[in-house]
Structure 1
């Protein structure tokens, strides 16, 4: 086995790393909007960042882990955990300690919490803002036999969150209807069409998942139609919150919840945990929570790591029919699914239907109890994913031409517009353009009224940037790393200029050098199966807990 092919980590021979040519052309000097006194910006070569920790801290943590393991192994009744403890006893632990320090772990107990995910280490759901109000209103709905209307979102996070709460609330004794918005027809967030459908179906309580925090007008519409509104969301809240009965969001300014990085499905799962459901339903809900958490690219640390680790165990032990069917068409091995299988196999297919058409078949798949029917739904998702890839590649080729021209103009942010581009793939295109040129990227489509998707480089808050130029936008929402927006085509030119001016003020130039983050520098003699086993202890990998990459000297 070659060092670079060992499962769970990568080795980059020192000095042999290559980067796209766009970064490396020394003669390719860029010029920007000089007429507005914005100085030129030049593409920078990538730099290496070897994060190897301080030797004393590494030894101290390794000793602390060993001491705790020797105590825990004596009283451990769980065979799986005892096997892990014995594996740790047999290792040197210094490499493991260095990897954990790079992930913010600095104590022996913190290390065991990271390595042995346990539901007992979750924060109490009672700490989430307004969750007591939400539970009380749901209990009243159960007593009154009211219909509850769940409004989700069209991405994998919103789809899994919707399926999770439909499953949980129906098991709890409520009559539930649900709606997932059409990306093109309804747009981003809580939709008027969905609200109207809920009212027409006789629902008196609207529960949002993965949306609603940026929709004050739509909340007022729902209330005017006789629906009480509970918002569950994880997106950054605006200054003025919607006037809902309850707003359950760990990112609220006054939130006491210790872990603000839950996905939308994570917030929905915490609400389901408060219902005290049976073990079978809890296990099914945990599978959906893991699926959506990985798909939404939230950091796989803290509670997200617990949800993902234990949810994957449930999936591999007894997958829901919909998840099993989805894994089958994605070519993933049932019983051995990991976070990478979700990220690159299952999640793209869940997202594809919401990108290309209605996401409702994806929710139906996850809620399906019959294996044959689930297989039919999975085939639909797989075909939509093929179409999404084909259209995405065509638009990416067109976007590259526009991006290269803007790079020649020295733009700090790339703002790309195609009137006939498909709204369902512009987020993927934005990510690929960013990866190619390492510039915050906004990709827009449409005529007169534009829909856009934004992606950003590390350290540059694209949500804050959009807030600063919001006078040119109709609506926007999202996170520091990714956002969605709508705007008038007539405002496109002023928006570009305003973003460039903001980028200069925010010192974006200092963030435009790509960084290859390396865990440590190794010699060939350091590469062994014990190293592979050590790295495997950090699974599941994902955003916030990447697969380790090492520099190797002496090749």
Structure 2
């Protein structure tokens, strides 16, 4: 099958010429920038020279003041807080960030990552039961929760206040949580809509720090986690994401946290890390824990400050990644054989395949490979 290239339309001629003149660059380069929606000298400066000063005020996000107030009250009243997140890279980095930060302020904090195979994606009833059984009064959901209307209702019935931190589009109904932080929700005027789940979590940490007089320098060390989430979740490298990724990548190269340092060593990256390295070498290793066994292993590694413990966990996670690659390869080969041997699927408009023995945590990757091969929707 021939590839069909999708060529972006040229930028508006007047805007291109104006930008080229202002920056004293060629119109060809200015056109590339306009095609990336960079249309002013100020936007160009922010793109090429990221600065922490370009970060938006976290309190511009809807419900941010309520979320900070509820966490502050929980700490003041000595209420236990549960940090809950998805099992992928964005979720586990977000949990590691929030848990580590809160632990520096307060001891009564736990975290929970749902089991992909037993609980599925997002907030689970089992997770809420865990919070209730462990006497947690506040539950912070990261990279999930924006569609968990019934789960949040269930948590409320158990006396648990939920703070949702998500970056996905909401459904028709917003959960009746004590606070919902999601730049994509209706009525949220936060100027940048493309944050990762970990990025939304970082904005909450930033807001709490401002209220309680914690210097930004004290939380800047978490940007390595934010950078890993941005690269691995494939959110746009524009606006705030570009700033957070730039300084997070700097942190990864100069002073990564213990767990990430061990993953980098296992990945055998012996030069300055790039975003591409994070996407193809760091992210898949963190993801492998949730795909093959338990995402909580990834959090355990990311929050560890013990080099010996981190070394052991990173080796275990690296083995998960090797297993994931082998299973991926095996299922892909079998899926392609199934297509080639069934004339109905060879020339079909879509691909639908099933095998009850295929591992749930890997079939999404296999489906992506089949799309790359056959250029059609695949289930």
Distance 1:292 1:57 in 2: 33
Distance 1:319 1:94 in 2: 40
**Corresponding residue of 2:291:** 355
Answer whether contact 1:146 1:174 (CA < 8 A) is retained.
Answer: no
Alignment of 1:99-114 (within 5 A): 99-114=32-47
Q: Choose from 171, 176, 180 the match for 1:243.
A: 176
Q: Choose from 321, 333, 336 the match for 1:385.
A: 321
Distance 2:286 2:179 in 1: 29
Answer whether contact 2:86 2:113 (CA < 8 A) is retained.
Answer: yes
Q: Choose from 286, 291, 297 the match for 2:234.
A: 297
Superimposed CA distance per residue, residues 463-492 of structure 1 (whole angstroms, 9 cap, x where no aligned partner): xxxxxxxxxxxxxxxxxxxxxxxxxxxxxx
Q: Does 1:274 align with 2:274?
A: no
Superimposed CA distance per residue, residues 7-61 of structure 1 (whole angstroms, 9 cap, x where no aligned partner): xxxxxxxxxxxxxxxx14xxxxxxxxxxxxxxxxxxxx52462755566654432
Equivalent position SS for 2:164: strand
Q: Does 1:167 align with 2:100?
A: yes
Alignment of 1:319-468 (within 5 A): 319-333=256-270, 336-403=272-339, 405=342, 407-411=345-349, 413-442=350-379
Q: Does 1:148 align with 2:81?
A: yes
Distance 2:172 2:8 in 1: 39
Q: Choose from 181, 191, 194 the match for 2:114.
A: 181
Distance 1:202 1:403 in 2: 51
Query: Closer, same or farther in 2 for the Cα pair 1:230/1:46, shift >3 Å?
Result: same
Equivalent position SS for 1:204: strand
Cα drift, residue 363 of structure 1: 0.5
Distance 2:82 2:8 in 1: 50
Distance 1:204 1:57 in 2: 53
**Corresponding residue of 2:244:** 307
**Corresponding residue of 1:191:** 124
Distance 1:303 1:97 in 2: 21
Q: Does 1:127 align with 2:65?
A: no
Query: Closer, same or farther in 2 for the Cα pair 1:96/1:236, shift >3 Å?
Result: same
Cα drift, residue 95 of structure 1: 4.7
Superimposed CA distance per residue, residues 509-542 of structure 1 (whole angstroms, 9 cap, x where no aligned partner): xxxxxxxxxxxxxxxxxxxxxxxxxxxxxxxxxx
Query: Closer, same or farther in 2 for the Cα pair 1:438/1:323, shift >3 Å?
Result: same
Cα drift, residue 212 of structure 1: 1.2
Answer whether contact 1:172 1:275 (CA < 8 A) is retained.
Answer: no
Structure 1: runs of 5 or more not aligned: 1-22, 25-44, 67-91, 443-555
Query: Closer, same or farther in 2 for the Cα pair 1:48/1:259, shift >3 Å?
Result: closer
| Larger strand share, 1 or 2 | 1
- Answer with 1 or 2: which has the greater Rg: 1
With normalisation by structure 2, the TM-score equals: 0.93
Equivalent position SS for 1:433: helix
Distance 1:407 1:102 in 2: 38
**Corresponding residue of 1:209:** 142
**Corresponding residue of 1:65:** 23
Distance 2:225 2:19 in 1: 35
Distance 2:93 2:180 in 1: 20
Cα drift, residue 386 of structure 1: 0.2
Cα drift, residue 290 of structure 1: 0.8
Distance 1:93 1:321 in 2: 44
Distance 2:327 2:145 in 1: 30
| Larger helix share, 1 or 2 | 2
Q: What is the root-mean-square deviation of aligned Cα atoms in Å?
A: 1.9
Distance 2:104 2:93 in 1: 17
Distance 1:228 1:48 in 2: 47
Answer whether contact 1:133 1:246 (CA < 8 A) is retained.
Answer: yes
Distance 2:241 2:293 in 1: 29
Distance 1:383 1:157 in 2: 21
Cα drift, residue 440 of structure 1: 2.6
Instruction: Kindly indicate whether structure 1 or structure 2 has the higher relative contact order, using CA contacts under 8 Å at least 6 residues apart.
Output: 1
Query: Closer, same or farther in 2 for the Cα pair 1:240/1:50, shift >3 Å?
Result: closer
